[in-house]
Structure formats: C-alpha cells, structure tokens
Structure 1
Amino acid sequence: MKLKTIDQTIQINATAEKVWKALWDKEHYKKWATAYMPGSHYTGDLKQGNRIKFLDPNNNGMESNVESLTEHREITFHHLHELEIGKEGQSLGNMREKYTLDEQNGTTTLSLSSEMPEEYFNEMDEATKKALLIIKELAEA
C-alpha cells in the first residue's frame, strides 16, 4: 500500500483550549467529521495508549491507538486496521494522523498531517479543507 501524506494548516482566532474542544468534544467532532462522511463519530476515551474507533453510521471505519497526547497541544493516532460492521478488517500498517495546536497571543495554528493510501488522497485532501473550516467556525463561535 503506497501512502501519501496530507499536510494542512489553518489559523483560528481562538485559544488552543477552544480549538481542542472543537476537535474532540464528541458532539463537535460529529459536526466537522461530516466533511468526510455524514454520521461519523468516535467511541472510546482520548487517553494515551487507549484504543479509539472512528466509525460511520454502519459501524464501518477504523480502530486506532492514541499514540501520543498532550492536551491542547498535540495528538497522534496510529491507525491499526479497518473495521467492517464493527469487525476487524484489513491492517492499515503504519498509517498515522497527527493534530498539532500552536497558540500565539490567542490565535491557534492547527496543523493536520494524515497518511493515507494514494488512491484516496485527492478526495481526502478536499474533505480535510472542508473539515478544517468547520473546526475554525466551531472554535471561533
């Protein structure tokens, strides 16, 4: 599986704490994750070492490990395998997704780096642009 990396950044006029809440509060997550798939949600607790499931309404998605987490600063997911109707599917190898928040004078730069199979890159790159705009809107509200 050949991987390509999405690297995107957005400036948000809000504190890192507000941006973090926009990202990971479960209700907020559902709002911005619709950019990828309507009805997307996650289950599990965001704590280092924990397993999280990112799912669509039919329980398809992926299971990931919270590889590192510094609240309001950085979180890295190691995507382990696909989930098909909640059951373990194809391994995702070393795919990682990282969110970095850098706050300067009340403005936060949110950077997202996400590895994915090359065939999904263009579609996911576009979806990520939309998702970041929704996150900005939620955090600045």
Structure 2
Amino acid sequence: MKKLTYQIKIDAPVSRVFKTMLDKETYKQWTSAFNPSSDFEGVWEKGQKIHFTGDNENGEKGGMVAEIAEYIPNSYVSIRHLGILDKGKEVLSGPTVEDWAGALENYSFTDIEGQTLLEIDVDTNDEYIDYFNEAWPNALKQLKNISEKK
C-alpha cells in the first residue's frame, strides 16, 4: 500500500473547517468530488463504526466500512477501513477487501494565524492513485470554498 498526502490552506478558523468537513450536509457537498451521492452513516467518535456511502452506476448503495480510529476535535481524525459495502451489505473479509483492510485516512488540522492548514494522508493501492490524485484536490477545493463562505 502507498501513502498519498494532500494539503490545503483555508482562510477560516480550524473549528469552522473541522465542523464543515464532518457535518452531514456540508460533508455531502465537498465529498461530491468523489461521488455525487457521497454520504456517511454513523457518528464521528473514536471506536465507532461508520459507513461512507454512495450509489454506483446501477443506483446500488456501495462504499466503505470503517471505524474512527482517533478523534480529537479541531485537531485530528483517523479513519481505519475495515471493508466495503456491496449493495448495502457489509463485506469484511475475502479478496474484495484484502487490499483495503487496515488502510488509514488521517486528517490533521493546524492553526496558522487564524487560518487552517489541513493535511490528509491516505493509504491506497496502485489502482486508485490516479483517481485520488484528481479527486482529492477537487474535494479540498470544494471544502475550502464552503468553509470560507460561512
């Protein structure tokens, strides 16, 4: 697995960026860069299971099954991937999840004179590098725009 890193400076306080990133409605807006129907089911609390969902080309619900590995408000969030959602059902073992199980997404929020430096580290396999290198910068631009408008 490879680690990809993305960062963006946002002209808004850390507390606003953190809230914008994780609140249900604004989450759906900035993550639309990955899938127009992006959403989540669950809560942002350490140790809690969370589903990151979206509809596939056939209109079926799919996505990732994860747990919140760490949650420090206005500072750091770590997500550990456990498996996938296939037509709304959890798949936590087998060949379709072997490449993803244990992968981490880490979000670090740093205050720089009232602005926020958001750094993201994502574990991925070769198959998704090009996709992530296109989608993540677009998603972060959307998050920046939403956070700076509030």
State the TM-score bracket (shorter-chain normalisation): over 0.9
Counterpart of 2:25? Answer: 27
**Residue from 42, 45, 48 that aligns with 2:46:** 48
Give yes or no for the alignment of 1:93 onto 2:101. yes
Q: Percent identity among equivalent residues?
A: 29
Give yes or no for the alignment of 1:130 onto 2:125. no
Give yes or no for the alignment of 1:74 onto 2:76. yes
Counterpart of 2:110? Answer: 102
Which one-letter code corresponds to 1:112 in the other structure? I
1:104 CA drift (Å): 2.0
In structure 2, C-alpha distance between the alignment counterparts of 1:110 and 1:13, rounded to whole Å = 11
In structure 2, C-alpha distance between the alignment counterparts of 1:25 and 1:93, rounded to whole Å = 25
1:64 CA drift (Å): 0.4
**What is the TM-score with the length of structure 1 in the denominator?**
0.95
In structure 2, C-alpha distance between the alignment counterparts of 1:32 and 1:99, rounded to whole Å = 15
**Residue from 12, 17, 40 that aligns with 1:14:** 12
Counterpart of 1:63? Answer: 65
Tell me the C-alpha RMSD between the 2 structures: 1.0
In structure 2, C-alpha distance between the alignment counterparts of 1:67 and 1:140, rounded to whole Å = 28
In structure 2, C-alpha distance between the alignment counterparts of 1:94 and 1:80, rounded to whole Å = 6
Long gaps (5+) in structure 2: none
In structure 1, C-alpha distance between the alignment counterparts of 2:124 and 2:88, rounded to whole Å = 21
1:56 CA drift (Å): 0.3
**What is the TM-score with the length of structure 2 in the denominator?**
0.89
Structure 1 segments, 4+ long, off by >4 Å, are none
Which one-letter code corresponds to 1:71 in the other structure? P
Deviates further, 76-85 or 87-96: 87-96
In structure 2, C-alpha distance between the alignment counterparts of 1:69 and 1:13, rounded to whole Å = 23
